[in-house]
Amino acid sequence: MRRDPHRSRHELLPMTATPTTPRAVVNPAPRPGQVQPPAGDEVMRFHAQLPGYRPTPLQDLGPQGVGSVQLKDESNRLGLPAFKILGVSWAVEQILAGGQAGSTLVAASAGNHGRAVARVAAGRRLSCRIYLPVTVGDAPAELIEAEGAQVMRVDGNYDDAIAAAEHAAAQPGTLLIADTGTSASASAVIDGYGTLFGEAAAQASAPFDVVIVPIGVGALAAAAVRFAAHHRPAATVVGVEPATAACVTASLAIGHPQTVPTPGTSMTGLDCGTPSATAWPTLRDGLAGTITVTDTEAQQVMRDLAGYGLVIGDCGAAPLAALRALLDDESCRQLRAATRLGRSARVLCIGTEGASDPASYRRTVGGARPARG
């Protein structure tokens, strides 16, 4: 791994460091009628013809205090332990089909996105460079390198890694595959994630009332909002963020995109300080609100899910942690009312990753015993 000599920053939005991050924020002015529809069936048809494709499982977690909770288990998506390859594969297909020429794919990542870009690049016989912030551990970097990509360490946070990847993409023959910003790939990534929700709708025995989804930069959450707004009947979407990286929570509270400090979290894939410019309008118009969770809460859910025989990582555990807060925490009372979350509600939680960092997963889960056969 080499350190990237270029370390230019994004033109960051004003940074606000609040003494405490709100537990929950209600979207003050949702406009679900303004939310664009999800991508068409061509995206699902594209994914269906990929080698090894099969829909990921919809796991029944029982009532959990509501009518039912279903977990979309993304611990094995096309041979990778996260959902990211859905967006990456579609974005690369669209860019290359659109006539852009290039022999090298570049991306910023906190781990899963970069590994997906590396996997797709290898499949298309393209070279690949992934820019990782120093806050990402060695294990994700090694897994990316094992896919054949070159890892470039950036001495900064995720926003710095994004800036470095964008700078690299300005070089001839280099294509940026981003899930944030304003590039064509950022829009295509959101469209690619639509397959996940199309599968879930087909797998469910009845429509969902509430969808709880990890945010990060917001691409997956934007896909969830587009799905839910055009679901019949329409579903409500709640986003979940780490308490130490709650950029969309801060943005909803003031009505425009906000950059926040990111001192670190075990939910590495959600350690994002700035919402995606492409995703933000959809999040602004369609989210019911957001909940923040701590590392401790997410790790407890990881252990609980392991007891069900499910291998779900920190980011994927966050939605169930958020549901518990939504039901039981008095500071979530207003958001609970806004979602109309009753005891008969059908809830979809997006379990976005498995053991993306196997050693870290083992340290967290330890000797959890299955709670059921």
Confirm whether 14 is domain-assigned.
no
Kindly state whether residues 228 and 297 are assigned to the same domain.
Answer: yes
Q: Which helix (H) or strand (E) holds 292?
A: strand 287-293
Decide if 4 is inside a domain: no
pLDDT over 70, % of the chain:
93
Report which of residues 327 and 367 the model is more confident about.
327
Instruction: Label residue 368 by pLDDT band (50, 70, 90).
Output: low
Distance CA 317, CA 322 (A): 9
Residue 3 included in any domain: no
- One domain, residues 44 and 131: no
**Buried/exposed code over 122-145 (b: 16+ C-beta within 10 A; e: otherwise):** eeeebbbbbbbbebbeeebbebbe
Return the axis-axis angle of helices 138-146 and 112-123, rounded to nearest 10°. Answer: 10
244 and 330 fall within a common domain: yes
Q: Are residues 61 and 121 in the same domain?
A: no
The CB density around residue 61, as the number of other CB atoms within 10 Å, is 18
Number of structural domains (the chain) is: 2
In degrees rounded to 5, what are phi and psi of residue 95? -65, -45
> What integer is the mean pLDDT of 298-324?
97
* One domain for residues 286 and 357: yes
CATH of the domain at 210: 3.40.50.1100
Q: Which of 185, 208, 243 is the last residue of a domain?
A: 185
Tell me if 139 is assigned to some domain: yes
- 100 and 168 share one domain: yes
pLDDT tens sequence across 170-211: 999 999 999 999 999 999 999 999 999 999 999 999 999 999
Of residues 176 and 16, the one with the higher pLDDT is: 176
Provide the pLDDT confidence category of residue 101 given band limits of 50, 70 and 90: confident
Q: Given 144, 163, 185, which residue is the final one in a domain?
A: 185
For residues 145 and 202, membership in a common domain is answered with no
**Beta pairing class for 346-351 and 68-73:** parallel
Q: Last residue of a domain, which of 161, 185, 209? A: 185
CA 365/CA 361 separation, integer angstroms: 6
Same-domain pairing of 130 and 242: no
| Amino acid, res. 35 | V
Domain hosting residue 90, numbered range: 84-185
| Residues pairing with 293 in the sheet | 242
Query: pLDDT tens for residues 108-153?
Result: 999 999 999 999 999 999 999 999 999 899 999 999 999 999 999 9
Q: Is residue 17's pLDDT more than 70? A: no
Contact at 8 Å (CB) between 173 and 126? no
Is residue 74, in this structure, part of any structural domain at all?
yes
List all residues 6 or more positions away from 194 whose beta carbon is below 8 Å from its beta carbon.
38, 39, 43, 44, 223, 226, 227
**Residues 217-270 pLDDT 10s:** 999 999 999 999 998 899 999 999 999 999 999 999 999 999 999 999 999 999
Model pTM? Answer: 0.93
